[in-house]
Amino acid sequence: MKTWIATTLLACAAIYPAACGAAEQDARGAIAHAWQQYQAGVQTERELVEVQVTQAGQALPSKLLWRRIRYGEQGQRVSVKFLEPLADLGLALLIERNISAPDQIWLRQPSWSAARKVAGNRETRYFADTAFTFEDNKQLIGEQTALFEYRYASQGAGGAVVTATPKAGTVSGYSRRDIALNSQGVPVRIDYFDEGAQALKTLTFEELSYPAPGRWRADRIVLRQRDGSQTVLKVRKRLFNDALGERVFSQPYMMENDSVRGD
């Protein structure tokens, strides 16, 4: 109960500084709380996601994928497997996040006989012809707050903007990210800046839903780049606390083709 009260006060302070004395609270806590709420009451999650990519004013063939997630006290594991189009069948991504160890990312291309590790600066590369880098894919389920510095850029009754900058030694493709929180402390927009501090792209969390008290989800995520290209993620199906075995989060499983049923 004490932990719940402290967490609630932290969120309140982040959004309503006059009422809650946010001067004594930090921006890091507001970001951490937002993602704690995202994971609240969830052990596993399965999403069927449609991906719509537009480049140079032209829409590419829609993609379809399963994203499976296991949440734990020490971190998360994410399995992404593409179903459509046929050219992407077999494309897979495995992300392992641990609060006490570096992230591990594994990629499997349809033509490869084994998955390969994605590490270092390769995490800043774009993935599957989308506007999302490998780094972006990791951050779709939360922030590794120990790797970034956070400060408030603005605060008010309608929300806040938190600036995140990578700490020394943190590999990131961005010099900073400006994270906008709504009045409930939920991220609704992220502006990304390149090494020259120029605006690079903007992500918006849209069609917000609250499947359980405090827990939030975005059923539509849009990432727009400064060259006009964009990627839209639209969740077509979502299942919480579904039975997901350990094999789902393994490299051998990456080598198996998936189906829309997702069995």
Q: What confidence score (pLDDT) does residue 4 get?
A: 35
Q: What is the pLDDT of residue 18?
A: 43
The pair of structure tokens assigned to 215 is 């827990």
pLDDT number for residue 102: 85
**Per-residue pLDDT, 21:** 40
CATH architecture for the domain at 2-254: Clam (2.50)
pLDDT of residue 74: 86
Would you kindly state where each structural domain of the chain is located, as residue ranges?
A: 2-254
Across the chain, which has 263 residues, the per-10-residue mean pLDDT values are 37 44 68 96 97 95 98 93 96 92 93 93 94 96 93 94 96 97 97 96 98 96 97 98 93 90 67
Global confidence as pTM: 0.87
Task: Give the model's pLDDT for residue 51.
Answer: 98
CA angle 160, 136, 211 (to 5 degrees): 60
Residue 73 has a pLDDT of 86
> In angstroms, rounded to a whole number, what is the distance separating the alpha carbons of residues 95 and 249?
8
User: What was the pLDDT predicted at 100?
Assistant: 78
For residue 90, count other CB atoms closer than 10 A to its CB.
19
